[in-house]
């Protein structure tokens, strides 16, 4: 049974070291801030089902690996790369269904629930995959059919559910973390990322879309334009299709079947709507269990079919139209040849390599042909920048070479 809890509050004594609801994501505060989202935001608590242990394989000796430092070009120990470049909080590697590496740093333990930021998008899209397979939702249908608040907005007239899943709506948006005037920061206030200091600002995710995402930039499907605000429409569609709260659906249809050990937390806005574009909080192992559905034909560790196999296959399906939309985006240079589909990044569509990615260095990297999954939680000082991406690529490359 999903329970809702109010913000627990940040301990006042932390003000002495400069930590509060408004400074939790300063680089020096991130290792605590990312483990304590329920202090600042109301939270839905998802209960696990029966825990399933990972099958353990021959250990991958991370301490023996050597990497190239993207910053200096010099040789670096792999653990040095994790600690000093990535500011990693945890790393877990699964190869051919076996857990072969599990590492923690930055003060994190295997019991801590860490926000996975935008990896939440891919996790929540799996619920949409179930709804599509059960004919409760249709990806070709207009989004306004499921979220009728959009029906009166001309900019949304031809935007489908699939356009939202692929973030190619044609709606004018911007999400620039480095720009204090970006709509992203108004959104952060709307959903309560820094606590709810102003009722006037804390309007919630749906109201933010209704007031800010009102202008057409191009035809739907033409350009990939990453906009976290879109993802929060998905649980609304899910709730209205099934007549139950979305968090209850996540718990009873997915989370209780993946073999999780611990509770999961989903932070919600001031109106109780789940903020699934970035606010799912999980232990490292349970994050890996949920992500593993995309490796294991949609099945959990014990073979239970949790999400449709068709949805797992579709996650890796390439599309020339999506690739063209990606090439027209701001991300084309950073990820040449990439695509974005069903709330996940296809890094190499020819080789079926997919990633969930979140700010500050959260990821689940899936190399399907090699049956390799690398899951990481981090406190990288910036939300996203070229050094972080280069460091992630070095981590993935070195581990892939080591296991193959």
Nearest alpha carbon to residue 317 among 360, 346, 359: 346
Q: Judge whether 289 and 260 are in contact, CB under 8 Å.
A: yes
Nearest alpha carbon to residue 1 among 191, 170, 238, 252: 252
163's enclosing H/E stretch is helix 161-165
Low-confidence ranges of the chain (pLDDT < 50): none
Show the tokens assigned to 258. Answer: 């993946």
Please state, in angstroms and rounded to a whole number, the distance separating the CA atoms of residues 326 and 341.
Answer: 10
Q: Parallel, antiparallel, or unpaired for β 55-56 and 98-104?
A: parallel
Q: Is 135 left (phi over 0), alpha (psi -120 to 50) or beta?
A: left
Nearest alpha carbon to residue 302 among 289, 313, 287, 286: 289
Q: Judge whether 44 and 279 are in contact, CB under 8 Å.
A: no
Nearest alpha carbon to residue 91 among 81, 100, 101, 106: 101
**What's the pLDDT at 198?**
67
**What's the pLDDT at 374?**
98
**What's the pLDDT at 284?**
98
> In the chain, what are the domains?
3-10+35-403 (3.40.710.10)
The number of beta carbons lying within 10 Å of the beta carbon of residue 100 is 21
- Give 102-127 pLDDT, tens digit per residue: 999 999 999 999 999 999 999 999 99
- Neighbouring residues of 118: CB distance < 8 A, sequence distance ≥ 6: 228, 277, 278, 356, 357, 358, 359, 362
Question: Pseudo-torsion of CA 93, 167, 188, 193, nearest 10°?
Answer: -30
* Distance between start and end Cα atoms, the chain: 42
376: helix, coil or strand? strand
- Neighbouring residues of 273: CB distance < 8 A, sequence distance ≥ 6: 204, 205, 206, 232, 235, 236
**What's the pLDDT at 199?**
65
- Give 368-400 pLDDT, tens digit per residue: 999 999 999 999 999 999 999 999 999 999 999
Helices (H), 42-140: 78-80, 119-133
314: helix, coil or strand? helix
């Amino acid at each position: 049974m999903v329970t809702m809890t109010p913000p627990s509050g940040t301990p006042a004594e932390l003000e002495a070291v400069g930590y509060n609801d408004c400074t939790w994501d300063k680089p020096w505060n991130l290792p605590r801030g990312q483990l304590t989202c329920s202090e600042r935001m109301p939270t839905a608590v998802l209960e696990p089902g029966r825990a399933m242990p990972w099958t353990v394989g021959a250990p991958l000796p991370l301490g023996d690996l050597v990497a190239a430092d993207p910053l200096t070009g010099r040789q670096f120990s792999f653990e040095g790369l994790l600690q000093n470049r990535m500011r990693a909080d945890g790393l877990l590697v699964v190869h051919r269904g076996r857990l072969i590496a599990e590492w923690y740093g930055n003060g994190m333990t295997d019991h801590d629930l860490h926000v996975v930021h935008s990896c939440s998008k891919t996790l929540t899209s799996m619920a949409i995959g179930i709804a599509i397979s059960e004919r409760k939702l249709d990806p070709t249908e207009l989004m306004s059919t499921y979220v009728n608040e959009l029906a009166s907005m001309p900019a949304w007239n031809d935007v489908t559910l699939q356009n939202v899943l692929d973030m190619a709506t044609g709606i004018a948006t911007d999400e620039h973390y480095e720009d204090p005037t970006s709509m992203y920061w108004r959104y952060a206030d709307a959903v309560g990322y820094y606590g709810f200091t102003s009722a006037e600002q804390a309007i919630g995710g749906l109201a933010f879309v209704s007031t800010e995402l009102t202008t057409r930039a191009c035809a739907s499907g033409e350009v990939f334009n990453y906009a976290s605000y879109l993802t929060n429409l998905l649980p609304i569609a899910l709730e209205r299709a099934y007549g139950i709260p979305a968090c209850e659906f996540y718990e009873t249809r997915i989370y209780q079947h993946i073999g999780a050990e611990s509770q999961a937390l989903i932070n919600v806005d001031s109106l109780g709507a789940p903020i699934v574009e970035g606010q799912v909080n999980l232990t490292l192992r349970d994050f890996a269990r949920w992500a593993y559905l995309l490796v294991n034909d949609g099945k959990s560790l014990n073979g239970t079919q949790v999400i449709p196999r068709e949805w797992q296959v579709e996650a890796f399906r390439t599309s020339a139209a999506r690739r063209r939309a990606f090439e027209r985006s701001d991300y084309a240079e950073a990820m040449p040849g990439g695509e974005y589909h069903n709330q996940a990044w296809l890094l190499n569509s020819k080789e079926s390599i997919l990633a969930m990615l979140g700010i500050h260095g959260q990821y689940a990297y899936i190399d399907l042909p090699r049956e390799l999954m690398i899951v990481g939680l981090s406190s990288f000082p910036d939300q996203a920048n070229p050094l972080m991406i280069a460091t992630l690529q070095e981590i993935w490359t070195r581990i892939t070479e080591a296991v193959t």
